[in-house]
Amino acid sequence: MPPRPRTLVARLASVTGPAIAVAGGVLLPSAFPDAFGPTVSLSLPVVLVLAGALVVLAAARTRREPARRQPGRPAEGRAADDVLTAGAADLAGRWAEARLLESAVVHALDGIVILEAASGPMPGRRVAYANDAFCRMTGYDRAEIVGRSLHILRGSKSDPATLAQIGAALNAGRPFQTELRNHRKDGSAYWVGLSLVPVLGPAGGVAHWVMIQRDVTGRKEAEDALRVSEEQLRLVGDNLPDGAIYQVMAGPDQTRRFVYISAGLGHLLGLTPAEATADAGAVYGLIHPDDLPGVLAEEEAAHRAMAPFEREFRTYTRGGELRWVHCRSMPTPLPDGGRLWNGVVMDVTARKKAEEALRRSEELFRGIFEGTSAGLSLTDAAGRFVSCNPACAAMAGRTVEDLLRLTPEDISHPDDWARQQPLVAELKAGTRNRVDLTMRYVRPDGKVVWAEVSVAAIRGPDGGYEYGLGVAIDVTVRRRLEDQLRQAQKLEAVGRLAGGVAHDFNNLLTGVLGNLALVRLPPGDPNGPLLAAVERAAARAADVTRKLLGYARRNQLVPGPVAPREALAEAAAAARRTFDPRIRVEVEVAPGCGPVLADPALLDQALTNLCLNARDAMPDGGTLTLSAGPVEGAAGGPADAPGEPPLQEADRAPDARPEAFVRLSVADTGHGMTDEVKARIFDPFFTTKGPDKGTGLGLAMVQGIVRQHRGWVGWTSAPGAGTRIDLYFPRAEAAPA
């Protein structure tokens, strides 16, 4: 019975012991990589295997020592029996330890296989032992594995090159480590980390092979997934249009180092990824000097706050071309307090140029919109102002801010708004795209502005009305001039008619007055008063014809130099003799005022008519001032004398010429004229006087006389502030005789 245990121990010592020893030889480099170099890590049970191997080998050595003693030596017989007895007891203890270690190998998490040293008739080396972990890993039972080679694990996904390397190591009798894709019994593939160690026999040759396998399928799949992801990321980065992706590591002191940057950097900056990863300064050195401080400051702020970095800035290419880039990166903290920034940089030069072009276009449009003298406005579909320029607001007598709170209806004359509504409705309905009309704007102060308005429809993609673009031109002055032109044409027609009638009537009156002069009645004749009345009526009719001829400019002019002081003094003397004493008459002639070129009789007639009108405007007395002074004419209108009220705008243009003139003025302190009266002061037969107080030809005749002398009439008047009439006569070159 004792030899059986020894036989079992010997078997364990010859098979399991070397295997455990080899496993320990594999584990030591794993446990102490600095001393043994890198290798595949094994599980904790293998540590126990190493210890068991040492114990089993010691037991085998104890078993061999009694066997070497020579039998038949009496002196040592009892000692030998004692030794054998002690060895048996020790061997029993070690047997228990070997069983414990065998259990550790059986239950190890890594697969452990013992292969025969040499290959048999079948390909490969037969399996002498396989633990439970290996069976679970491969899906085979131990009975299906022991006695067969591991070629059963090969499949379509096993790498032939790796298999050849394993075969070469077995043939050479040297240790070998690798990773291999095997196939389970069900055909599924899995990855193992494989360590192959030869076990030397007593003669020094390879007695067995110990193969330890660890399932690394999860790690390999993760590595493959990571590799695929990195490859996809590289493809994305290398094919990113006009940009690149990067990883930059920033230390706690903000030192920067590019860990990765895609090939798009070459298209963007003309640098290779290798140049960027070798020296981060090669990238930062290309940033525009004006933008670099801001980029660094914002990077540092993002670094401290662990916040995303995003900025657009200018940078140069290696060739010196200036470009705009948009850079965005996200931080990941590092154990040393640094940051790993994962980001993307895009070339936005084209967009920036487009934005700059758009900005310039908007500035140009805004300049045109704001600076044009025409009123421009934009109204929405509801009819509210959404935009307008200052000219439009000024035309409506409001500010831009005030106008944007109103609608066109709020500033339009009610009559004009009612008239234009059907046209606007057609514009919104799509039956027309443009509306042109003349309308009136009513300012807050009640003044009316005439405007020619053109409204164009701005439609959306579906053709619906979205906005109305209005262009308004102030035509108030033009309409006033048109009214004046029509008035002048009317007056011209009336003048021609009056001139013809007056000429014919004057001829008739000449005969009447001539015949009346020949009639001589004796004193006391009862027909004498009647004849005197006829003569007075004929004289008045002759005076009317003279006025009509003056208005029609049919008088025969005998122009010559006339001293203004003498002309005004004569008119003033006549006024002092005939006017109400409550009316004070004053004459003012500016120093150096030269003579005027005029017909003395017609000039006296014009001044007399103006004095009579001034007298009628001051029924309760006042001051009548006759003045004269030189005026240098200007193109577009006469110059106003310093310190005096300006001329009416309507009288500046038609007859004004760039010549030297003398202004003769008749001013009163009477009741003045209203706007309605001023609009008709030169109308023939228009008068504000009562019946039998005037014919209404006074100012019309004055205007005719002045125009006949190539001059013009100006005036200024206001209710309660009096009236001043200015007669502009050409200045004479020679002094009066």
pLDDT in tens, 132-186: 899 999 999 999 999 898 888 998 888 999 999 998 998 888 999 999 999 999 9
Beta bridge partners of 312: 326
Contact 590, 643 (CB under 8 A): no
pLDDT: is 659 or 453 the higher one? Answer: 453
Which pLDDT score, from 0 to 100, does residue 677 have? 73
Query: Which is it for the CA torsion 545, 551, 552, 554, positive or negative?
Result: positive
CA–chain centroid gap for 488, Å, is: 56
The pLDDT of residue 631 is 85
Least confident piece of the model among 82-91, 335-344, 652-661: 652-661
- Say which range, 90-99, 377-386, 586-595, has the weakest mean pLDDT: 90-99
What confidence score (pLDDT) does residue 553 get?
Answer: 53
What are 200's strand-pairing partners? Answer: 206
The C-alpha atoms of residue 283 and residue 313 are separated, in whole angstroms, by 13
Classify residue 734 by its DSSP letter.
S
> What DSSP string describes 24-87?
HHHHHHHH-HHHH-------THHHHHHHHHHHHHHHHHHHHHHHTSPTT-GGGHHHHHHHHHHH
Band of residue 620 on the pLDDT scale cut at 50, 70, 90: confident
Over residues 490-506, the mean pLDDT reads 69
Instruction: Return the closest-CA partner of residue 212 out of 304, 150, 298.
Output: 150
Q: Which of 215-229, 374-388, 493-507 has the highest mean pLDDT?
A: 374-388
How many angstroms separate the CA atoms of 437 and 475, rounded?
Answer: 12
> Do you know the residue count of the chain?
737
Distances (CA, A) of 44 to 31, 49, 107, 568: 10, 9, 11, 137
Nearest in space to 154 (alpha carbons), one of 183, 180, 190: 183
CB atoms within 10 A of CB 321: 11
- CA–CA distance, 700 with 706 (Å, rounded to integer): 10
383 backbone dihedrals φ, ψ, rounded to 5°: 90, 10
| Mean pLDDT, the chain, integer | 78
pLDDT of residue 94: 64
Cα separations in angstroms, 132 against 112, 402, 634, 639: 8, 93, 122, 123
The pLDDT, as a whole number, for residue 580 is 86
Find the Cα–Cα–Cα–Cα dihedral 583, 578, 688, 700, rounded to 10°: -110
Phi, psi of 629 (to 5 degrees): -170, 155
pLDDT score at 294: 93
Closest CA to 53 of 9, 87, 98: 98
Res 551: pLDDT: 54
* Residues 85, 78 contacting (CB under 8 angstroms): no
- In the chain, pLDDT over 90 holds for what percent of residues? 19
Joined tokens for residue 76:
């040592």
- Residue 608: Cβ within 10 Å count: 17
